[in-house]
Amino acid sequence: MTVCITGDVHHMSMETRDQAYMDGTEVEAAVEYARIAGKYDVPVTLFLTGKSVIEEPEKVRTLVAMDNVELGGHDYWAFTTPVHAAWRALGKVTRNRIGSWNGPRPFQAHEIRKTVAAFGDLGVTVRSWRDHAYRHDRHTADLLSQYDITHFSDTVEPDGTVHKENGLTVVPVNTPPDHEHVYHSFRTRDFVANDDFEGPFGAESRDVEDWAEWVLDHVADHRCAGKTATVLAHPACMQLADGFTAFEDLCAAIDGGRFLSAVEG
């Protein structure tokens, strides 16, 4: 049975709500996260925006040099440009007949190329991909294949299994994602109580240590079924929730299983 530990990392100029609560950058958090995982010989797959590579190349080089880290793409701008906004609005008014979060096909291709090139400047060949907020459209898989991406982790499915689709190996997140289900930074109890979010794992949020136990329960279920378990634990979220304590406990608890990156899985 394979366990894939994955996380998403964003550029600081994106100015996310989580970033307002951080002392350092998301890439710096990712370095600490990877070092903690390395103490338990746990490989991690980190999906970085192309712009984070451009903004913090030396810190990303630290990740590149770490034996337990695989780096994948997470879009370039993470849907923050005027082109994305216009195409998203067009999708809304046409009920998705035209338009999407990803922008027009040529622009989406441009964004993938820029991300692959940013990693390439650091000697990294990108083989895995996760779109920001799991947003993809009918063009995404084909475009990723054209740019030699082989593995795609862009869905949240409690019963999901690794499978082939549109020429890619699809690696679903099949344990509760942290960002949507952990109290941290702006995601207070009051915020969650007044939020209408509900995803594949429901609407519940938990303290981070309880979330880790929840994840382990799903890992155990997938182990019994002989399925790959894929965990999504953002470095920023893990840092903000409790300074990586629960993340380290998670790595230690899973220790003893067979660990592979999303690409190797």
The answer to whether position 264 is within a domain reads no
The answer to whether position 245 is within a domain reads yes
How many domains in the chain? 1
The answer to whether position 265 is within a domain reads no
How far, in Å, CA of 197 to CA of 195, rounded?
A: 6
pLDDT tens for the chain, residues 1 to 265: 589 999 999 999 999 999 999 999 999 999 999 999 999 999 999 999 999 999 999 999 999 999 999 999 999 999 999 999 999 999 999 988 899 999 999 999 999 999 999 999 999 999 999 999 999 999 999 999 999 999 999 999 999 999 999 999 999 999 999 999 999 999 999 999 999 999 999 999 999 999 999 999 999 999 999 999 999 999 999 999 999 999 999 999 987 554 444 544 4
- Start-to-end C-alpha separation, the chain: 10
CATH number of the domain that 139 lies in? 3.20.20.370
Per-residue pLDDT tens over the stretch 133-171 = 999 999 999 999 999 999 999 999 999 999 999 999 999
The answer to whether position 133 is within a domain reads yes
Angle, helices 26-39/245-254, rounded to nearest 10 degrees: 40
Q: Could you tell me how many helices (H) and strands (E) the chain has, helices first? A: 11, 9
Per-residue pLDDT tens over the stretch 227-254 = 999 999 999 999 999 999 999 999 999 8
The answer to whether position 37 is within a domain reads yes
List the beta bridge partners of residue 182. 206
**Among the listed residues 71, 30, 64, the one whose alpha carbon sits nearest the alpha carbon of residue 50:** 71
How far, in Å, CA of 161 to CA of 141, rounded?
A: 18
Predicted TM-score (pTM) of the model is: 0.96
Domain residues for the domain of 243 are: 2-259
